[in-house]
């Protein structure tokens, strides 16, 4: 199995950011300008309970977006929506007594895709999984969930692995959740392998899993065949193969300027999740690959 179609380009995007339409510091126009200058192909403006319209602005595809928020007993659940096509009343699905399942269903009914935002920041536990049916991904890295803007709970890799070990193989994205625009913007992204940078093509590729998440490194191809996973990347210092097994031999492949790394699947492995680390310590992440 090859993950990516090498005849198709990759489009770079950020699925989570805020503007002066809610609690972000920049206007939509200025926020879009930052991402246009940084070479992003698409973004979604996901203001709190505030829907942005789809348009092409400054050469960037701006997908319709929103962020919904729910308070459960001991945790919060934030859900971003992108690619909404139908009119969407965000306040109507964030009423007291409602939960993430209501927001996710409404986003999907409006033609969009729902993403679980920053589970580590939200102190999410596996108890929320039954209420997340229908999400298209979770944020494995969220730029603003780092100091100095926050504490340091930006990475949700252990939530991802626990969910996968419980049988919920949720794809992963990296997103900025930019609010301040003093370093929390243009850091984290997804690269989507699609025939065109349109709403339909991007959502199709997201549904098909043809994307990776990153803060720097590129992932060029992934092949699963003959009991092995082979990953081709931009120059890497380390490639790590996580799974449901707590210990396996050969999980961490190291070198200088590596362009390819391979891992032999072990008996009892039900999924593999790959991280690529470059010389600067920046990571790229693949969604968990189900093996069963
Ligand atoms: Zn947000």
Using one digit for the tens of pLDDT, what is the confidence trace for 25-58?
A: 999 999 999 999 999 999 999 999 999 999 999 9
Of 214, 229, 256, the residue that ends a domain is 214
Mean pLDDT within 156-174: 98
**pLDDT score, position 119:** 98
Mean pLDDT within 91-115: 97
Q: Are residues 228 and 257 in the same domain?
A: yes
DSSP per-residue codes, 41-94: SEEE---BT-PPPPEEETTEEEE-EEEEEEE-SS-EEEEEEE---S---TGGGS
CA 141 to centroid of ligand 1, rounded, Å: 12
- Asked if residue 265 is part of any domain, the answer here is yes
Q: Are residues 228 and 139 in the same domain?
A: no
Mean pLDDT within 69-76: 93
CA 43 to centroid of ligand 1, rounded, Å: 13
Q: Are residues 45 and 31 in the same domain?
A: yes
CA 235 to centroid of ligand 1, rounded, Å: 31
- By the 8 A CB rule, do 233 and 284 touch? yes
- Asked if residue 1 is part of any domain, the answer here is no
CA 225 to centroid of ligand 1, rounded, Å: 38
**pLDDT score, position 122:** 97
CA 57 to centroid of ligand 1, rounded, Å: 21
CA 246 to centroid of ligand 1, rounded, Å: 32
Tell me the CATH number at 252: 2.60.40
CA 4 to centroid of ligand 1, rounded, Å: 29
Tell me the CATH number at 22: 3.20.20.140
- Asked if residue 183 is part of any domain, the answer here is yes
Of 214, 235, 259, the residue that ends a domain is 214
The pLDDT-based confidence of 5 (bands split at 50, 70, 90) is very high
- Asked if residue 182 is part of any domain, the answer here is yes
CA 245, chain centre distance (Å): 24
- Asked if residue 149 is part of any domain, the answer here is yes
Mean pLDDT within 173-202: 98
pLDDT at 210 over 90: yes
Strand duo 55-57 + 113-116: pairing: unpaired
Closest CA to 65 of 48, 92, 42, 46: 46
CA 131 to centroid of ligand 1, rounded, Å: 19
- Asked if residue 4 is part of any domain, the answer here is no
CA 62 to centroid of ligand 1, rounded, Å: 16
Of 176, 198, 214, the residue that ends a domain is 214
Q: Are residues 143 and 190 in the same domain?
A: yes
CA 99 to centroid of ligand 1, rounded, Å: 17
CA 178 to centroid of ligand 1, rounded, Å: 7
**pLDDT score, position 84:** 97
Tokens in use for 204?
A: 């199709």
- Percentage above 70 pLDDT, the chain: 100
pLDDT at 177 over 90: yes
CA 18 to centroid of ligand 1, rounded, Å: 6
pLDDT at 73 over 90: no
Q: Are residues 277 and 242 in the same domain?
A: yes
In the chain, where do the E strands start and end? 10-14, 42-44, 55-57, 60-63, 65-71, 76-82, 113-116, 135-142, 172-175, 189-193, 211-214, 219-225, 228-243, 252-264, 271-277, 283-285, 289-290
The pLDDT-based confidence of 74 (bands split at 50, 70, 90) is confident
Average pLDDT of the chain to the nearest whole number: 97
- By the 8 A CB rule, do 209 and 249 touch? no
Q: Are residues 227 and 162 in the same domain?
A: no
Q: Are residues 208 and 234 in the same domain?
A: no
**Ion ligand 1 — residues with CB < 5 Å:** 67, 177
- Domain limits for position 262: 219-290
In eight-state DSSP terms, residue 282 is -
pLDDT at 136 over 90: yes
Q: Is 134 left (phi over 0), alpha (psi -120 to 50) or beta?
A: left
Q: Are residues 47 and 156 in the same domain?
A: yes
**pLDDT score, position 21:** 98
Whole-model pTM: value is 0.97
Burial of 225 (0-12, 13-18, 19+ CB in 10 A): exposed
- By the 8 A CB rule, do 231 and 222 touch? yes
- Asked if residue 113 is part of any domain, the answer here is yes
- Asked if residue 2 is part of any domain, the answer here is no
CA 51 to centroid of ligand 1, rounded, Å: 13
d(CA 39, CA 90): 30
**pLDDT score, position 292:** 76
CA 179 to centroid of ligand 1, rounded, Å: 8
CA 46 to centroid of ligand 1, rounded, Å: 7
Q: Are residues 38 and 145 in the same domain?
A: yes
CA 47 to centroid of ligand 1, rounded, Å: 7
Q: Are residues 231 and 252 in the same domain?
A: yes
CA 214 to centroid of ligand 1, rounded, Å: 18
Total domain count, the chain: 2
Q: Are residues 79 and 172 in the same domain?
A: yes
Q: Are residues 277 and 164 in the same domain?
A: no
CA 44 to centroid of ligand 1, rounded, Å: 11
Question: Which backbone phi and psi does 199 adopt, to 5 degrees?
Answer: -55, -50
In eight-state DSSP terms, residue 115 is E
């Amino acid at each position: 199995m090859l993950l990516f179609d090498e005849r198709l380009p990759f489009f770079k995007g950020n699925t989570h950011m805020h503007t002066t339409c809610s609690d972000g510091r920049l206007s939509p126009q200025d926020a879009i300008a930052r991402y246009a200058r940084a070479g992003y192909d698409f973004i979604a403006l996901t203001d709190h309970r505030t829907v942005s319209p789809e348009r092409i602005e400054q050469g960037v595809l701006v997908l319709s977006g929103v962020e919904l928020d729910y308070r459960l007993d001991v945790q919060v659940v934030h859900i971003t929506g992108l690619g909404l096509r139908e009119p969407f009343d965000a306040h109507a699905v964030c009423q007291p007594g409602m939960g993430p399942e209501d927001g996710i269903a409404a986003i999907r009914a409006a033609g969009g895709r729902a993403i679980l935002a920053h589970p580590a920041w939200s102190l999410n536990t596996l108890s929320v999984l039954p209420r997340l049916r229908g999400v298209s991904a979770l944020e494995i890295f969220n730029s603003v969930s780092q100091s100095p803007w926050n504490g340091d709970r930006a990475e949700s890799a252990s939530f991802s692995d626990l969910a996968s070990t419980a049988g919920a193989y949720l794809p992963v994205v990296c997103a900025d959740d930019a609010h301040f625009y003093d370093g929390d913007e243009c850091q984290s992204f997804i690269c989507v392998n699609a025939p065109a940078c349109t709403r339909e093509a991007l959502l199709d590729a997201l549904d098909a899993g043809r994307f990776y998440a990153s803060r720097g490194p590129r992932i060029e191809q992934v092949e699963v065949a003959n009991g092995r996973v082979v990953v081709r990347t931009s120059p890497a210092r380390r490639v790590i193969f996580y799974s449901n097994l707590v210990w396996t031999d050969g999980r961490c492949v190291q070198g200088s300027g590596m362009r390819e790394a391979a891992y032999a699947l072990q008996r009892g492995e039900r999924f593999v999740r790959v991280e690529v680390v470059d010389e600067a310590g920046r990571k790229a992440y693949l969604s968990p690959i189900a093996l069963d």
